[in-house]
Amino acid sequence: MQRTTMDLWVGLFVMAGIAALMVLSLKVGNLNVYNPSQSYILTGNFENIGGLKVRAPVKSAGVVVGRVTDIQFSTQTYDAIVTMSMDSRFIFPKDTFASILTSGLLGEQYIGLAAGGDEDMLTDGDKIMKTNSAMVLEELIGRFLFDKAAEE
Amino acid sequence: MFRHALSAIQNIGHRVIEGMWRLGHASRFFILVLLKSGTSLRRFGLVIRELYFTGVLSLIIIVVSGLFVGMVLGLQGYETLQKYGSESAVGTLVALSLVRELGPVVAALLFASRAGSAITAEIGLMKATEQLAAMGMMAVDPVSRVVAPRFWSGVISMPLLAAIFSVMGVYGGYLVTVVFIGVDEGTYWSQMQSAVDFRFDILNGFIKSCFFGVAVTAIAVFEGYDAPPTAEGVSGATTRTVVSSSLVILGLDFILTAFMFRGVS
Amino acid sequence: MTSESLIEVNNLSFSYDTRPILNGVNMRMQRGQVVAIMGGSGSGKTTLLRLISGAIQPTSGHVKFAGEVVHELSRDALFRLRRKMGMLFQFGALFTDLSVYDNVAFQMREHTNLPESMIRDLVLMKLHAVGLRGAHHLMPNELSGGMARRVALARSIALDPMLIMYDEPFTGLDPISLSVIGNLIRRLTDALGMTSIVVTHDVQESLKIVDYVYFIADGVIAAHGTPKEVRESVAPFVHQFVHGEEDGPVPFHYPAQSYEKDLELEDCRV
Ligand SMILES: Nc1ncnc2c1ncn2[C@@H]1O[C@H](COP(=O)(O)OP(=O)(O)OP(=O)(O)O)[C@@H](O)[C@H]1O
Ligand SMILES: [Mg+2]
């Protein structure tokens, strides 16, 4: 009787709610590109990470291939150990170069990977040997002034 | 003068004690509702009926407000970001604000004043007109037959409404920035997608809205059930539902945010 | 005699906060009887019904229903007991979110597994008995006060209980419905062998149908007897009540300080 129309409305409402959750996950949150359940871990030591933060993206050729999951300070080498969770669809050679880059002049910092030519590939738990620190603006300016002074 | 101050302090003391007493009473009632939820889960038709009133009837206000909030976010975000030449990040700003904070919080505030007050008024009136007593006389427990289905319908519909709110907001922002202002469509979505994390942002927002749903409906059913059985009693209880659930939403939001997003940024 | 009583009220006392309402009430009610409880407004008749149904706890004394002391029962046992009771509330108390039909069907759906077709027949029978079969599709807010009360009556007899308590079933009814409902109460009681307690102010109508009458005043049973005894009684209390006289032992006014003092006339007189 009257109940069925009510049921129909409730059904539509629940459908709309679930659809909204799907849109949030897939379209807004991009769940399909980066799925942490299928991932492998890489680490890298950086002399200076600048403003890099946990959850910053790891990109190669501009495509997000992973995320920073942890940043620790090492008292042995006195540098930063950055742990990255990588999408397992993307694997990189052993001699891949990791550098901390900035999007735009003042934008967010991320790790950029430039693939090398090695036959062996990085696997879960491996350490990236070739790293390049963040560019810190003050140091950059300092070096620039120093160079100028040296020229004269 | 001294006497005035003394009586004012006494007054405050009384109010604090009264508040504690009510809080304890409310918590006990909350446990009781949980214990007596068996009937609602076995006869899910009761909950579905209430979902119509709490969920479906709140839909219009949630959709419209979500759209407008998203449009305003898009406009304001664009104005500000443009000064720094980062208008491409407007999608990120809209989506993160909505998914983390505005979606759960504003949807819960709207839900409290739309559905929460209705629940309180309905239960309070049923009490005032002896319907609850009559039900008890027919050997049907009003807590499991009347209160629990309303509680669960609120708990179920709140996260769904918050998700709908956020999605409407994202599309509202899209409408303003992409369609009207002319930000590149691809940029809008891709910036958003690279910044919004599923577990960290969306799941946490969802968890928030679940907490809000429990809090708002628990307050609403308690105030209704506890209302003095008179016209003023019910109207006072309705007001208290809106006021205290709004405060609880905002306070809870702070606590949850501190727990969820601590250690980052 | 005591062994066949369905309800025994022994030395029952009750007070709201500190104000005593009932003060040692004793009653006996047998199966198949219609018992009237009369008394002035505010004398505690509704309170007495609430005590019998276990909705409130007595301060002393007890009510026995079919041998069980009502206020000592566990919650589950009390609910089991209440399935054998029906109650017509003073203000109807229909469920406003359900139609007339669903109101009457409520208990059948909650407590039995009857198929919907049988529920339908039962509901229409109950509604027919109160003359409202044609109104089954209406919502409670579409009913007049008297109609709502008749629906509430149909609802309270839905499961053919052993005891029905009617809190003022006759108020707001026209003379025709009034005698129909009066006869219905009598017929139901006889046909099903149940017991009916009727709280009423309608002395003449109720004397026609009841088996026994209790008068409550000042928290105790002031008088009791069969309708015949009551009509012939020369006790001033009963006489005043049956004939509706203003002066007599039953006070019309709620206890208060003197009228002059309330209106602050004392000073003027000096
Ligand atoms: N919840 C309550 N709290 C305090 N006092 C109450 C309460 N309910 C009733 N009373 C008081 O108890 C007394 C008896 O009330 P009750 O409702 O039993 O009267 P009644 O005999 O049914 O009257 P009426 O014929 O008008 O319905 C009244 O004086 C009333 O003021
Ligand atoms: Mg009464």
CA distances in angstroms from B43 to B37, B49, B255, C83, listed in the order given: 10, 11, 35, 20
C21 Cβ inside 6 Å of ligand 1: yes
B135 touching C (Cβ < 8 Å): yes
Residues of A in contact with B263 (CB under 8 A): 54
What is the overall mean pLDDT for chain A? 82
Distance C215 CA to ligand 2 centre (A): 14
Rounded to an integer, what distance in angstroms lies between the CA atom of residue B260 and that of residue C244? 74
Both tokens assigned to B6: 């003394």
Q: What are phi and psi of C214, to 5 degrees?
A: -115, 135
DSSP H or E run through C166: strand C163-167
Residue-level pLDDT at B232: 92
Both tokens assigned to B240: 């208290």
Render pLDDT for B31-59 as a digit per residue (tens, 0 to 9): 999 998 888 788 888 899 899 999 999 99
Ligand 1 mutation target, pool C21, C50, C52, C202, most atoms within 8 A of CB: C21
Residues of B in contact with A33 (CB under 8 A): 193
Residue-level pLDDT at A17: 92
Residue-level pLDDT at A105: 61
Report the range out of A109-113, B20-24, B149-153 with the highest average pLDDT.
B149-153
CATH code, C23: 3.40.50.300
Distance C42 CA to ligand 1 centre (A): 5
A105 Cβ contact partners less than 8 Å away, ≥ 6 residues apart: none
Residue-level pLDDT at B242: 95
The answer, yes or no, to whether residue A36 has pLDDT greater than 70, is no
Rounded to an integer, what distance in angstroms lies between the CA atom of residue B204 and that of residue B259? 10
Average pLDDT over every residue of B222-232: 92
Render pLDDT for B99-125 as a digit per residue (tens, 0 to 9): 999 999 999 999 999 999 999 999 999
Both tokens assigned to C64: 């026995």
Phi-psi region for residue C56, left (φ > 0), alpha (ψ -120 to 50) or beta?
beta
Render pLDDT for C1-15 as a digit per residue (tens, 0 to 9): 444 688 888 888 898
Residue to substitute from B164, B168, B265, interface A, most A β-carbons within 10 A: B164
Residues of B in contact with C107 (CB under 8 A): 138, 140
Residue-level pLDDT at A104: 66
- A100 in Cβ contact with A133 (< 8 Å): yes
Q: Give me the average pLDDT of each 10-residue run along chain C (270 residues).
A: 72 87 88 88 87 88 86 87 86 88 90 88 88 88 85 88 88 81 86 88 83 87 84 76 68 68 63
Interface TM-score (ipTM) > 0.90:
no
Distance C23 CA to ligand 2 centre (A): 17
Q: Does some domain include residue B231? A: yes
Query: Which range marks the domain in which residue B248 is found?
Result: 36-261
Are C96 and B134 a contacting pair at CB < 8 A?
no
Render pLDDT for C207-238 as a digit per residue (tens, 0 to 9): 888 889 898 888 888 888 888 888 887 777 77
Residue-level pLDDT at A1: 42
Query: Which range marks the domain in which residue C233 is found?
Result: 5-267
User: Who among B126, B134, B145 is closest to C89 (CB)?
Assistant: B134
Residue-level pLDDT at B98: 92
Minimum CA–CA partner of B188 in chain A: A28
Are B133 and C55 a contacting pair at CB < 8 A?
yes
> What's the total number of domains in chain B?
1
Residue-level pLDDT at C2: 44
Residue-level pLDDT at C236: 75
Render pLDDT for A63-105 as a digit per residue (tens, 0 to 9): 888 888 888 888 888 888 999 988 888 888 988 889 888 876 6
> What's the total number of domains in chain C?
1
Residue-level pLDDT at B205: 92
Neighbours of B34 (CB within 10 A): 13
The answer, yes or no, to whether residue B213 has pLDDT greater than 90, is yes
Between C251 and A44, name the one with better pLDDT. Answer: A44
> Which residues, chain by chain, have CB under 5 Å from ion ligand 2?
C 46, 90
Per-domain boundaries in chain A: 1-32, 39-141
C45 Cβ inside 6 Å of ligand 1: yes
Residues of B in contact with A30 (CB under 8 A): 192-194, 196, 198
CA distances in angstroms from B11 to B4, B14, B243, listed in the order given: 10, 5, 21
